[in-house]
Amino acid sequence: MSDVDGGSDTLAAPIASAVLTHVVSSIVDDPEAVRVEGTPSKGRVKLQVKVGPGDLGRVIGRRGRTAQSIRTVVRAAATRDGVDVDVDFVDD
């Protein structure tokens, strides 16, 4: 199962975090390795996504189109949380 870390910072965007975790877990080969961490950043919530080895390319996609689509969906979900979010895909 994927893990949503970050304590109260991620709780500021629970719907966005859950959507992000679900979408990324659906794309990667190893959904157990997906980690989403939330941190506050300049009045926004910054969600960092870490995936297993070899899965980062799948999440980013050609020319970053998949990553951009994920960001769009998560930002829309964040409106339900009443916060602005930034999504970063980190190589672990």
Q: Tell me, what's the pLDDT at 5?
A: 46
Q: How far is the C-alpha of 2 from the C-alpha of 22, rounded, in Å?
A: 9
Question: Which tens digits make up the pLDDT trace of 4-24?
Answer: 444 444 567 899 999 999 999
pTM of the model: 0.85
- Residue by residue, what is the 3-state secondary structure of 15-51? HHHHHHHHHHHHHCCCHHHCEEEEEEECCEEEEEEEC
Over the stretch 22-74, which tens digit does the pLDDT of each residue have?
Answer: 999 999 999 999 999 998 878 899 999 999 999 999 999 999 999 999 999 99
Task: State the pLDDT at residue 3.
Answer: 46
Question: Which residue type, as a one-letter code, is found at position 26?
Answer: S
**Domains delineated in the chain:** 3-90 (3.30.300.20)
